[in-house]
């Protein structure tokens, strides 16, 4: 599922915890992954904590496209939410 480049209530869509985590993943039960619109990612931990799974296309904030292991090596592994997101991604991989 792609997130958009736009802001919703002054929060970038890729960093919007309400729309990505609470509404899409919790309320609607979406079990897939969310990728950013091209250039739509504006942070690392806020975007990951808010439910973004993959940055497109360059990896300016998430390292190489979809590289959570790189984030862990950079020290973000102490963030429990990010580790939870990694395990979530592994659980939906066929």
Structural domain of residue 40, as residue ranges?
A: 7-92
Report pLDDT digits (tens) over 39-87. Answer: 888 888 788 888 888 888 777 777 644 455 555 555 554 455 566 666 6
70 is catalytic: no
48: helix, strand or coil? helix
More confident residue, 24 or 85: 24
pTM over 0.85: no
Residue 1 lies in a domain: no
Rounded to whole angstroms, how far apart are CA atoms 39 and 84?
Answer: 25
8-state DSSP, 26: I
Q: Which of 10, 17, 26, 37 is catalytic?
A: 37
How many structural domains comprise the chain? 1
Backbone angles phi, psi at 61, to 5 degrees: -110, -30
Residue 85 lies in a domain: yes
More confident residue, 8 or 64: 8
């Amino acid at each position: 599922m792609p997130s958009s480049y736009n802001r919703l209530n002054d929060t970038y869509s890729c960093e919007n915890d309400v729309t990505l985590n609470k509404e899409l993943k919790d309320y609607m039960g979406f079990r897939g992954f969310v990728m950013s619109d091209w250039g739509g990612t504006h942070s690392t931990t806020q975007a990951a904590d808010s439910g973004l799974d993959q940055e497109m296309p360059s990896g300016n904030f998430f390292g190489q496209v979809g590289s959570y292991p790189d984030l862990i090596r950079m020290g973000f592994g102490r963030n429990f939410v990010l580790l939870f997101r990694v395990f979530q991604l592994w659980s939906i991989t066929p």
